[in-house]
A and B are shown apart, each in its own frame.
Chain A
């Protein structure tokens, strides 16, 4: 009897010890997070970004351009990894291991700013927001405070093969300031005359829809960034119709990932690439096609108020609310925030087009690009940048897009457009509370 009793006591003891251990651990956690905001000033400032040829290169350039003495460590991570690390790190309440500066895609920014209040440091005092393209300010600020320093623009253009278009009987003028309907018409002609596809699309990526609707100043959510705006969203409806018309016109070359997308135009299989300007280096990578490409403004939706300018992607720098934040903000403000000469180098050395308006008058921006038949590509892009309608991307771009992607499949199979958008609206409303 005694023995059995002891067994139980032993178990009990064990669980008590374990519980104590747990309690000790969890209280450690708690104290760890509470002093996250105001510790020692660190010697080193860290920055996280992705894409070594673009964002990392831009940061390196900024580091060289910065006159103060600053020990800046630039760490390259894949964008998905940064999103994950920020989410897990910030939600744990512990700021340990977080960088001082982080690059966040504009369409994700609001989600971070609102999910983790106080995790980011307002940097509006370190630069003048008036100097930047207006469409970049809404996604990078919250409650009137500026948190992000706008970096690259995702201004879109219609890259096209001059030789294919010529063969089909079209010149650059025929592609300038057109609607998507006209684009589809031209696409059919190109396919018939040259046998080449007009465009390469990933059926899982509705990025082209976002390009279309932003040209009409619309988004998946209303201006408050929260209210789901799918049903009765005329631009979105038009965009769906255009998308389906493209698929049915049989000039879409399907791709299922980035490398296949690149291969589609590098191999000469498609005649046009409507995309953010950041695709230019990938097009230029195929040297045998030099002189065969030009860029026209992106087509617009056939609606009143729609413009031939839109945006795809683009990101901004944020400063985390941890020791070293002032140093980090000063660094950003003195380089990306105000240094015109730096922006000229950025265009020349990295090919990165910022959204800092005063830089557009610089010499580097006017340079003619031989690959694009002598077109002053950068100047054209920065002109279009100023026309991009400003929209509030809100919180749920990617969640809504997954819902739309599922409904798009139904739409392509013949479901009525009104039902498609109504169902998507209902689903989004129930999912996003």
Chain B
């Protein structure tokens, strides 16, 4: 026992023979990860590097040439890019908090020990995220169409006197997109909270109850602090998801009216495939997303006070 301890604890004092064996073991270890590491390098890091190089080039289709930082300068004077960035941030600032709060709310409700048909409710709320992005986006498009179900519903309730242009009014179109993403992803985030809630010790709630804490106080002083790491995690992945928003915008509004709902990812698509292809500039815009993801994630870590 003590010998093993000594060996692992103090490797440098080990005999030459054991060192040799260790190195051999080590080699085999490296061999095991070599394939995976080479794969990741080949299929992740290498394309990233090439994309970075590409972002310093510009030109139509195959006629690319190096232009230095021109593409990055161009970003600042490109109104379409600025519109796409603004839209994306509007989605981010409204949609992510709304969704996180909703998901928390549902998960706490569903975690109630006295709730009946728990399985049914849980499935019902989670179900949206097994649907295909394109399929649900198309359905939302029809729901929110001028002759769509939503308008019919609101008209029959006499809440509106004439059909609303959900898809062709700049403000309402943004709302439609936000409603769609929220519907799709709330259940997904809820599952994270639900599983995290299983790990919260019930005795804490009991103790709080004995001390006279209300449900609201229990929620804010026990549930939220206990779920903090998960809330951080979900808000980061939701932020990344929103920055990469594409399918919904493409299928529901196609970026319109004008570019009122255009997202950054959709602009990248347009630059590559819709307009005369400029893959260099498209790569530059892609790198903006990378930079934003890094910055926003750092910010969220800072705000949450968790440096680890």
Contact = CB atoms under 8 A, between A and B. Distances in A.
Interface of A: 1-3, 6-7, 10, 13-14, 17-18, 21-22, 25, 80, 83-84, 87, 90-91, 93, 111-112, 114-117, 119, 203-204, 254, 256-257, 260, 395-396, 398-399, 402-403, 405-410, 427, 430-433
Contact of B277 (A14, A115, A405): A115
Interface string B254-296: 1111111000000000101111110100000000000000000
A203 B257 contact: yes
A17 B34 contact: yes
B60 interface: yes
Given A10-B26, A10-B27, A407-B258, A90 B80 contact: no
Contacts of A18: 37-38, 41-42
Interface stretch (B115-123, B163-171, B234-242): B163-171
B48 interface: no
B276 A111 contact: yes
B83 A402 contact: no
A13 B146 CA distance: 63
9 contacts: A10-B26, A90-B61, A203-B256, A254-B146, A396-B276, A403-B80, A406-B260, A407-B258, A430-B74
Given A87-B273, A402-B80, A204 B254 contact: yes
Contacts of A2: 12, 19
Contacts of A3: 11-12, 19, 22-23
B168 A21 contact: no
Contact of A257 (B30, B34, B38, B141): B141
Contacts, number: 130
Contact of B61 (A115, A203, A256, A406): A115
B2 interface: no
Given A114-B61, A115-B63, A395-B276, A406 B19 contact: no
B62 A90 contact: yes
Contact of B60 (A84, A395, A407): A395
B88 to A, nearest CB: 16
Nearest to B70: A433
Interface in B65-82: 74, 77-80
Given A10-B30, A90-B61, A115-B63, A430 B78 contact: yes
Contacts of A93: 62
B226 to A, nearest CB: 39
A405 B258 contact: yes
B83 A398 contact: no
B168 A204 contact: yes
Contact of A402 (B58, B77, B167, B259): B259
A402 B270 CA distance: 10
A90 B46 CA distance: 20
Contacts of B187: none
A111 B60 contact: yes
B80 A116 contact: no
Interface residues of B, number: 49
Contacts of A395: 60, 276
Nearest to B279: A91
A371 B74 CA distance: 54
B171 to A, nearest CB: 11
B170 A22 contact: no
Contacts of B30: 10, 13-14
A256 B167 contact: yes
Interface string B127-164: 00000000000000100011100000000000000000
Nearest to A113: B61
Given A6-B26, A14-B34, A254-B168, A406 B258 contact: yes
B195 to A, nearest CB: 36
B133 to A, nearest CB: 16
A427 B258 CA distance: 14
Contact of A21 (B42, B78, B165, B257): B42
B141 A115 contact: no
B259 A406 contact: yes
Most buried by B among A80, A84, A115, A116: A115
Given A254-B146, A409-B258, A6 B23 contact: yes
Interface in B164-189: 165, 167-168, 170
B253 interface: yes
B248 to A, nearest CB: 14
Contacts of B83: 406
A255 to B, nearest CB: 8
A430 B63 CA distance: 19
